[in-house]
């Protein structure tokens, strides 16, 4: 039996609030990143600007050196997004290890409707990674990452599209590789959790409905483009939609019934 790998706890990634919800487990953190359609990537634009920047980007965990590595192993984070020239230039010019960035992913799985506003919460999964970003310059690695990221948008899409990319497409594509330094995740599941003073107050419990509204992302029926010439929607698309809808809805529903630890949950 293998051991479970976890990210090291350092001051910048250690969860101090609701510690029982924290995870440093690579599998949990990598899975949240990989199942998120959009990642939020933060970097410091430099001394002339006081504000950190955030870009929405598409990305995926992977290992070019060990492509068969699974989510429970050390992986790099590959990013492709609406990459402003700013983050590209900063990563290209960064000395040493690369541009220090933070990658975040969050999803809401349910609304927790409690007796009091203070006990309201979400069921959610969130993860962050800290690491150093560099541009991928090796062409084989870039192609490999383009395939990894395209297939993260829709499983198996790469081989069902016009590949390989031509020279102009490869050179216009920018992929950032993030060497991960640390990471952490936070997961809240379960049901409503109110304080005793309210739960024993009949006036309150007789009029305030409590419960959970599950929330999930739905993928609708594919709409062919006016120029599409393939009559039947291919299996890799219908299967992806069916699988995702099933997984997403099931997770949100099952999270409600997750066994609660004894301590406070919100």
Return the residues of window 13-52 that contact its own copies according to CB under 8 A: 15-18, 37-38, 40, 42-45, 49-52
CB neighbours of residue 125 within 10 Å? 24
Q: Contact at 8 Å (CB) between 178 and 77?
A: yes
Q: Which of 70, 89, 161, 247 binds its own copies (CB under 8 A)?
A: 161
Q: Which two tokens stand for residue 23?
A: 């995870």
Selected binder of its own copies within 1, 209, 259, 263 (CB under 8 A): 209
Residue in 69, 71, 111, 187 binding its own copies, rule: CB under 8 A: 111
Rg of the chain over Cα atoms, rounded to whole angstroms, equals: 21
Stretch that binds its own copies, among 24-32, 61-69, 70-78, 127-135 (CB under 8 A): 127-135
Min dist CB 108 to its own copies, Å, is 5
Specify the long-range contacts of residues 159-165, CB closer than 8 Å, at least 24 apart: 160/234, 160/236
| Contact pattern from residue 50 through residue 89 relative to its own copies, giving x for each residue in contact according to CB under 8 A and a dash for the rest | xxxxx-x-x-----------------------xxxxx---
Residue 261 contacts its own copies per CB under 8 A: no
CA dihedral 205, 208, 214, 217 (to 10 degrees): -160
Indicate the DSSP class of residue 126. E
Alpha-helix runs per DSSP H in 119-205 = 139-153, 167-172, 196-199, 202-205
Residue 6 lies near its own copies (rule: CB under 8 A): no
Closest CA to 143 of 91, 80, 68, 217: 80
Name the phi and psi angles at 135, rounded to 5.
-70, 140
Q: Does residue 92 interact with its own copies by CB under 8 A?
A: no
Peptide bond into 227 cis (omega under 30): no
> Judged by CB under 8 A, which of 32, 101, 136, 175 binds its own copies?
101
β pairing state of 39-43 and 76-81:
unpaired
Residues touching its own copies: how many (CB under 8 A)?
106
Shortest CB 61 distance to its own copies, Å: 17
Q: Does 113 bind its own copies (CB under 8 A)?
A: yes
Single out the residue of 130, 134, 142, 177 in contact with its own copies (rule: CB under 8 A). Answer: 130
User: Among the candidate windows 1-9, 24-32, 63-71, 225-233, which touches its own copies by CB under 8 A?
Assistant: 225-233
Which residues within the stretch 175-194 sit at the binding site for its own copies (CB under 8 A)?
181, 186, 191-192, 194
């Amino acid at each position: 039996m293998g051991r479970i790998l976890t990210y090291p706890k350092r001051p910048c990634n250690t969860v101090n609030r609701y510690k029982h919800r924290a995870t440093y487990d690579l599998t949990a953190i990598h899975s949240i990143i990989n199942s998120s359609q959009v990642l939020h990537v933060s970097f410091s634009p430099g001394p002339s600007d006081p504000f950190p920047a955030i870009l929405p980007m598409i990305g995926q965990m992977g290992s070019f050196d060990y492509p068969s590595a699974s989510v429970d192993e050390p992986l790099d984070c590959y990013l492709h997004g609406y990459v402003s020239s700013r983050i590209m230039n900063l990563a290209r010019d960064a000395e040493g290890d690369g541009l220090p960035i933070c990658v975040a992913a969050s999803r809401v799985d349910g609304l927790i409707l409690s007796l009091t506003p203070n006990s309201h919460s979400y069921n959610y999964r969130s993860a962050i990674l800290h690491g150093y970003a560099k541009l991928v310059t090796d062409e084989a690695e870039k192609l490999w990452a383009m395939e990894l990221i395209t297939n993260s948008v829709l499983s198996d899409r790469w081989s069902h599209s016009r590949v390989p990319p031509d020279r102009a497409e490869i050179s216009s594509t920018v992929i950032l590789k993030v060497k991960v330094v640390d990471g952490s995740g936070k997961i809240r599941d379960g049901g409503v959790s109110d304080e005793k003073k309210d739960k024993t107050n009949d006036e309150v419990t007789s009029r305030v409905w409590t419960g959970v509204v599950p929330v999930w992302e739905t993928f609708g029926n594919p709409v062919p483009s006016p120029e599409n010439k393939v009559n039947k929607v291919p299996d890799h698309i219908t299967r992806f939609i069916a699988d995702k809808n099933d997984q997403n809805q099931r997770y949100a529903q099952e999270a409600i019934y997750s066994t609660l630890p004894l301590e406070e949950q919100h």
